[in-house]
Amino acid sequence: MKVSLKWLKEYVALPDDIKALCDRLDLTGTGVEGIEKIGASFDNIVTGQIVTKDAHPDSDHLWVTTVDVGQANLGANDTPESLQIVCGAQNFNAGDHVAVALVGAVLPGGIQIKKSKLRGVTSCGMNCSERELGLGSEHDGIMILSQDAPVGVPFADYMQMGDVVLDLEITPNRPDCLSMIGMAREVGAIYGEAIHLPDQELLEIADATANYVEVEIADALRCPRYTARIIKGVKVGPSPDWLVQCVTAAGARSINNIVDVTNYILFLLGQPLHAFDFDTLKGADGKAHIIVRAAEDGEVFTTLDGEKRILKNDMTVIATPACAVALAGVMGGLTSEVSEETTTILLEAATFSSAHTSRTSRNLGLISESSMRYERGVDDNAIAFNADFAAALIAQVSGGEVCSGLVDVWEHKTEPIELAFRINRFNAMVGEDVPSDFIEDTLVRLGCVVTKAQADVLSVVAPTFRPDLEREIDLFEEVLRIYGMDRICPTLPGGRGRIGVRSIEEKAVSLIHANLRSSGLNETMTYSLVQPDEIERLRMDASEMGQAVELINPINADQSVMRQSIIPGLLQSVVYNQSHGVKNIQLYEMGSVFFGAEGKKQPKEKQKVAGIMAGAMGDGGWNSQPSAFDFFDGKGIVESLVRELAVARVRFKAFEEQEAPHLQPGRAASVWSGGSLLGWVGELHPLAVAAFDATAPVIAFELDLTALIKASKPARDYVDIPVFPAVTMDVALVVDEAVSHERLMQGMTSAGGNLLEQVNLFDVYRDEERVGANKKSMAYALVYRAADRTLTSEEVDKAHERIIGKVKAATNAEVRS
């Protein structure tokens, strides 16, 4: 809310130091978001008086003047000294009061005033014309001020144009602060100053309001109180200057005297008003029959901004029997607006339900000064006073007459609430002893009625203009913020026996992070808000992903659903890097993916960890040449991760064709721990990579974090370090291409017996001539060892032969010599 300090000063004394005021407001809960100095363009321009006027020795049209500017120019011993100013105007005499731009002033037109010499005579300022001050077109001479103008005061103050307007952030719990009176009360409480409430004497004519208006409230929940006043014989026209100044300082546009008064009262007292052109409302009997009723679903209504609105039953309208004339609490109608022809005003002062107003405003996307106040709460108890004040002011500025009596339908009166304020409990909450005198005084200044109920309990009646004061704690907050949160001594909680604990899951998660980083992957973060078609573009099988979680109000289509996989986001980061010339891309991310299901409010949120690699590990250097990433880099990362987590019975299973369409067939595997699926690793399908405009190959993996942690063990068991020597026997097996390493391994380990300790693949060799077409030679080192003795060569030979025999039989392998 914009608060003019000049206006606010009428109701409460303000400190001179505006920065200090702003700091106090900030600390007590009214955020100062902006300080606008009105009249700032008159900085360094003061009022002065011409003391002497002499002809310039070297010019026939210039004058050398001395000008008294009072305190604005101090010489030695801080005594005022006149300025010598060379002036070219002809319209002045010694003794005239003038506007003087001092050295350093910047005139509205941009002219900078400097100390200068004009034909050899020093000039320390400038006597200004109206045009130079931006106040008019007059430039035949300098501006002559009235004879009683003070000397040496800021020109802006003299013209009463100086004002400071604060832009205040009013929190939603404080409807009262959306008014000058509310802010005056707030400032009064902060500084312990008395406030002066405004009043306006109301003169009524004999003709009764009731002769012109009848009001019916169809639903008291929507409208607790509705009042109407009639002002006859008004002349709609421009507002007086003071009124224009007030409403413009508050941020409104001056429209006409009637509308400006309604806005003035809105800003002054926080009471939204609506002025109808009475003649557009009256029925055949010459009376306006006002009905406050629910809108009909689909009812069409044109608000005064010219927009056609389609209403819902949840909205409330002010209507005549013929039609709706205003959208209650939000905006008036176009047809009943006050115009230049209007002679009789029906002035509405009412209060409407906050919830209905809030929903109406949100449903129509229409926020007004009125709706903002109604949705926070407008006090029904103040309405009669506010209506009278406004009617009197309308009569004053428009020459109209106010009919006698207020037509007042008050269906639901808000009663003040009486609350207990336990001083001990308050002090226990803040952790400090705040004097009870201070507590009482603060509450009284905020508008409460306070009596001492017991030694340390106050009985507090909260004013109805403070709907936020409903409970004892609400009063506590008031006292604490006025007392000053900055005055409370900082302490630490003394709770016994509390310990910060990391759960097993958190420990596993941080182990996973550390392991992936040690594999060279950089953690990143991508949007959870994604394009709806990205799963399809990636060619991912969506059959087990449930429904995408859709936003109702996305900012743009690119971020309109919640992600179902982390990979598309990572792939986009690959594209970003590739297009910026980064060649080695190693990224991973841990986070949620979302799977919705029909009939369920909240989706399943699954935690995933995914990685992506493109290019090579590092840039290559003087002593190393990194090779391009391939499937085995991805697999290696997953292997090292599951090893770190001590995941049991890990198996990489080749995907069948079509099982994972987003991956390149033959270079993709699902990852298992026993019977539980952990995720997948592989090269993204070239078509998927192309669909994202990335450059292949791109290696990726995505694992289910929960499954991974479930399969992990917090610690591995100790295994004895062998004491007896091992014997290593090599064998090269020539097999068909279709025979996998895994199958050969299974063959060897299942036939190995307890002497075979380890099998290491050390070479894969293909050569059509030496090995044969569609064949490969797989060379293994088989390590034999017994825990309790040194093996004899006979024992080893026997075991080795048995193994080779069984593998040959199982896989049609031949031993290559």
Q: Considering only 90-98, 454-462, 596-604, 749-757, which stretch makes contact with other proteins by CB under 8 A?
A: 596-604
Residue 215 near other proteins by CB under 8 A: no
Letter for the amino acid at 582? V
Work out how close the CB of 480 gets to other proteins at its nearest, in angstroms, rounded to a whole number. Answer: 5
**Cβ distance to other proteins smaller for residue 613 or 786:** 613
Q: Which two tokens stand for residue 92?
A: 């002045």
The string of DSSP codes covering 323-377 is: -EEEETTTEEBSTT---TT---EEEEEEE--HHHHHHHHHHHT---HHHHHHTT-
Nearest to 699 by CA among 606, 592, 587, 800: 587
**Cβ distance to other proteins smaller for residue 277 or 704:** 704
Residue 500 near other proteins by CB under 8 A: yes
Residue 636 near other proteins by CB under 8 A: no
Q: How far apart are CA 815 and CA 553, in angstroms?
A: 67
The contact mask relative to other proteins for 370-389 (x = CB under 8 A, - = no) is -----xx-------------
- What is the CA 108 to chain-centroid distance, rounded? 37
Q: Which one of residues 494, 719, 720, 773 is an interface residue with other proteins (CB under 8 A)?
A: 494
**Cβ distance to other proteins smaller for residue 492 or 773:** 492
Residue 111 near other proteins by CB under 8 A: no
Residue 298 near other proteins by CB under 8 A: no
Q: Which one of residues 605, 693, 736, 737 is an interface residue with other proteins (CB under 8 A)?
A: 605
**735, 790 Cβ separation under 8 angstroms:** no
**Cβ distance to other proteins smaller for residue 342 or 526:** 526
3-class SS of residue 596: strand
**Cβ distance to other proteins smaller for residue 582 or 646:** 582
Residue 362 near other proteins by CB under 8 A: yes
- What is the CA 711 to chain-centroid distance, rounded? 41
Q: Which one of residues 114, 196, 600, 798 is an interface residue with other proteins (CB under 8 A)?
A: 600
Residue 369 near other proteins by CB under 8 A: no
Residue 564 near other proteins by CB under 8 A: no
Q: Which one of residues 3, 4, 21, 29 is an interface residue with other proteins (CB under 8 A)?
A: 29
Q: What are phi and psi of 515, to 5 degrees?
A: -65, -40
**403, 286 Cβ separation under 8 angstroms:** no
Work out how close the CB of 296 gets to other proteins at its nearest, in angstroms, rounded to a whole number. Answer: 17
With helix as H, strand as E and coil as C, how does 134-180 read?
A: CCCCCCCCCCEECCCCCCCCEHHHHCCCCEEEEEEECCCCCHHHCCH
Residue 299 near other proteins by CB under 8 A: no
The contact mask relative to other proteins for 131-170 (x = CB under 8 A, - = no) is ----------------------------------------
Cβ neighbors of 389 (< 8 A, separation 6 or more) are 198, 199, 200, 202, 265, 269
**Cβ distance to other proteins smaller for residue 290 or 311:** 311
Residue 522 near other proteins by CB under 8 A: yes
Cα atoms in the 13 Å half-sphere on the side-chain side of 635: 16
Integer angstrom CA distances of residue 759 from 287, 560, 637, 789, 810? 103, 51, 21, 20, 17
Residue 525 near other proteins by CB under 8 A: yes
Binding to other proteins (CB under 8 A): which residues in 419-448?
Answer: 428-432
**Cβ distance to other proteins smaller for residue 192 or 753:** 192
Work out how close the CB of 122 gets to other proteins at its nearest, in angstroms, rounded to a whole number. Answer: 37
Q: Considering only 273-281, 577-585, 708-716, 754-762, which stretch makes contact with other proteins by CB under 8 A?
A: 577-585
Q: Considering only 130-138, 172-180, 243-251, 734-742, which stretch makes contact with other proteins by CB under 8 A?
A: 172-180
**Cβ distance to other proteins smaller for residue 320 or 354:** 354
Other Cβ atoms within 10 Å of 51 Cβ, number: 13
Q: Which two tokens stand for residue 642?
A: 């599951």
Binding to other proteins (CB under 8 A): which residues in 308-327?
Answer: 314
Q: What are phi and psi of 332, to 5 degrees?
A: -80, 175
Work out how close the CB of 185 gets to other proteins at its nearest, in angstroms, rounded to a whole number. Answer: 16
Q: Total number of residues binding other proteins (CB under 8 A)?
A: 103
Q: How far apart are CA 294 and CA 172, in angstroms?
A: 26
Q: How far apart are CA 639 and CA 565, in angstroms?
A: 21
**364, 330 Cβ separation under 8 angstroms:** yes
Q: How far apart are CA 562 and CA 554, in angstroms?
A: 11
**Cβ distance to other proteins smaller for residue 474 or 630:** 474
Q: Which helix (H) or strand (E) is 794 found in, with range?
A: helix 793-811
Residue 358 near other proteins by CB under 8 A: yes
Q: Considering only 224-232, 482-490, 732-740, 753-761, which stretch makes contact with other proteins by CB under 8 A?
A: 482-490
Q: Which one of residues 513, 537, 606, 802 is an interface residue with other proteins (CB under 8 A)?
A: 513
Q: Which one of residues 140, 238, 452, 576 is an interface residue with other proteins (CB under 8 A)?
A: 576
Nearest to 570 by CA among 534, 623, 618: 534
Binding to other proteins (CB under 8 A): which residues in 65-84?
Answer: none
Nearest to 502 by CA among 494, 493, 511: 511
**Cβ distance to other proteins smaller for residue 138 or 314:** 314
Q: How far apart are CA 737 and CA 766, in angstroms?
A: 10
Q: How far apart are CA 811 and CA 747, in angstroms?
A: 8
Residue 625 near other proteins by CB under 8 A: no
Q: Which one of residues 74, 203, 485, 557 is an interface residue with other proteins (CB under 8 A)?
A: 485
Residue 284 near other proteins by CB under 8 A: no
Q: Which one of residues 147, 148, 498, 715 is an interface residue with other proteins (CB under 8 A)?
A: 498
Query: Looking at the DSSP assignment, which residues form a beta bridge with residue 84?
Result: 66
Residue 301 near other proteins by CB under 8 A: no
Residue 695 near other proteins by CB under 8 A: no
**393, 221 Cβ separation under 8 angstroms:** no
Work out how close the CB of 375 gets to other proteins at its nearest, in angstroms, rounded to a whole number. Answer: 5
Residue 523 near other proteins by CB under 8 A: yes
